[in-house]
Amino acid sequence: MKIKNVLKSKGPEVFTISEDKNVLQAMALIVANRIGSLIVINDEAKITGIISERDALKVCFENPNNFAEIAVNQVMTKSIIFAEPEDEVDYVLGIMTKNKFRHVPVMKEGSLIGIVSIGDLVKVQLNEMHIENKYLMEYIHGQATT
């Protein structure tokens, strides 16, 4: 299955935050929208990074008295790996696992068209396995339709 199919089922919504906002504002967006990361953009609406709930938690733990004063651009991940709509789910899962991150923005022709999480991809794989298992069991038991 391809990433574009995952986006069709989950939708293209992506939440962003300006790089000059603070970590408390990022946490508020993450919590309010029940998401795991935000795409960070600059004043020209260009992607400059990504901040995850783990990044925010880490900075809060390390700076309990002043984390609200720390700008998102000080904590965000600046080197982002992007997926493309035609990428296979297995391929993207492999990249996420190898690099130990949970969210991948999806770009098409230079435009952000969505974001997928490791949970989104595992869910798709489990669904495919259940369907395949059902058909194999029917075949084994002679109940397959032709």
The one-digit pLDDT tens for each residue of the chain (146 residues) are: 999 999 998 888 999 999 999 999 999 999 999 999 999 999 999 999 999 999 999 999 999 999 889 999 999 999 999 999 999 999 999 999 999 999 999 999 999 999 999 999 988 877 666 566 676 677 787 775 55
pLDDT for res 18: 97
- Asked if residues 23 and 67 have their Cβ atoms less than 8 Å apart, the reply is yes
How many whole angstroms separate alpha carbon 106 and alpha carbon 83?
A: 5
The per-residue pLDDT for 128 is 67
Read off the amino acid at residue 62: E
pTM (global) more than 0.75: yes
What is the C-alpha separation between 78 and 80, in angstroms, rounded? 6
Q: Which residue from 76, 74, 114, 80 is spatially nearest to 96, judged by alpha carbons?
A: 80
Q: Which CATH architecture has domain 3-140?
A: Roll (3.10)
DSSP at 112: E
Residue 8 in contact with residue 31, Cβ under 8 Å? no
Q: What are phi and psi of 98, to 5 degrees?
A: -60, -40
**CA separation for the pair 15, 12 (Å, rounded):** 10
pLDDT for position 136: 67
Nearest to 106 by CA among 1, 4, 11, 8: 4
Tokens at 114, concatenated: 């969505």
Domain ranges within the chain, ordered by starting residue: 3-140
